[in-house]
Chain A
């Protein structure tokens, strides 16, 4: 059973071991630009004075992911070897542009589907004026299995705009329909 969540809700969550210790907390959520899979997390120390650490947490070592904490078996899984590479930069603020050249808007949030695996399945965007943007009303746009992210722009198929939703309710279905449509077209 998968569920959708906003990636930023994971930032700042404590990493808790099954023994109840909380050595670190989540700093960045890292995903693969090719397939959208969540690779893991970079970490930081607790508290305002706590800075980032070199140790990381791979998605495969996550024991449980809840609304208030990321649970791991024990602190030994937090290592520099597990730190995911962060070569592409933060996608928040990137522009979403269709293959036909229409600017759909600006990424304000990343939607993640979590279950046994975790994948980026869509973006919450602040729509551009040319895409009907009005005020602070954001919309959700699905992403294909394989995405193209340059560091400043995200390129999506033209028909992604047909599967836009106003909220997360029913967005999972829109993602499935969109990807099924892409499968039929290819």
Chain B
């Protein structure tokens, strides 16, 4: 029982870590070049 709980906890921690990394990458900004200039509209 304890082993199953430990496995579940580890899986949840791994999933949480992956989500944190993905969200940080999604929010990260940069200095972006735009070829040809202008807006996207």
Do residues B27 and A50 form an inter-chain contact, with CB atoms below 8 A? yes
Give A52's nearest chain B residue, CB to CB. B26
Chain A proximity of B22: nearest CB distance (Å): 10
Given A33-B34, A90-B32, also A83-B39 (CB < 8 A): yes
Chain A proximity of B38: nearest CB distance (Å): 6
Q: Which of B26, B30, B31, B38 contacts A85 (CB 8 A)?
A: B38
Query: How long is the Cα–Cα vector from A34 to B33 in the complex, in angstroms?
Result: 9
Do residues B33 and A89 form an inter-chain contact, with CB atoms below 8 A? yes
Q: For the side of the interface on A, what is the size category? A: 35 or more
Please, what's the 1-or-0 string for B17-30, where 1 marks a CB less than 8 Å from any CB in chain A?
A: 00000010011011
Do residues B32 and A29 form an inter-chain contact, with CB atoms below 8 A? yes
Q: Which A1-41 residues sit within 8 Å CB-CB of chain B?
A: 7-8, 11-12, 26-35, 37, 39-40
Query: How long is the Cα–Cα vector from A44 to B28 in the complex, in angstroms?
Result: 10
Is A110 positioned at the interface, with any CB of B under 8 Å from its CB? yes
Q: Which residues of B contact A52 (CB under 8 A)?
A: 26-27
Q: Which residues of B contact A56 (CB under 8 A)?
A: 39-40
Chain B proximity of A26: nearest CB distance (Å): 7
Chain A proximity of B9: nearest CB distance (Å): 23
Given A44-B27, A48-B23, A48-B27, also A91-B32 (CB < 8 A): yes
Query: How long is the Cα–Cα vector from A82 to B40 in the complex, in angstroms?
Result: 7
Is A149 positioned at the interface, with any CB of B under 8 Å from its CB? yes
The interface of chain A, by Cβ under 8 A from chain B, is 7-8, 11-12, 26-35, 37, 39-40, 42, 44, 48-52, 56, 58, 80-92, 110, 149, 151
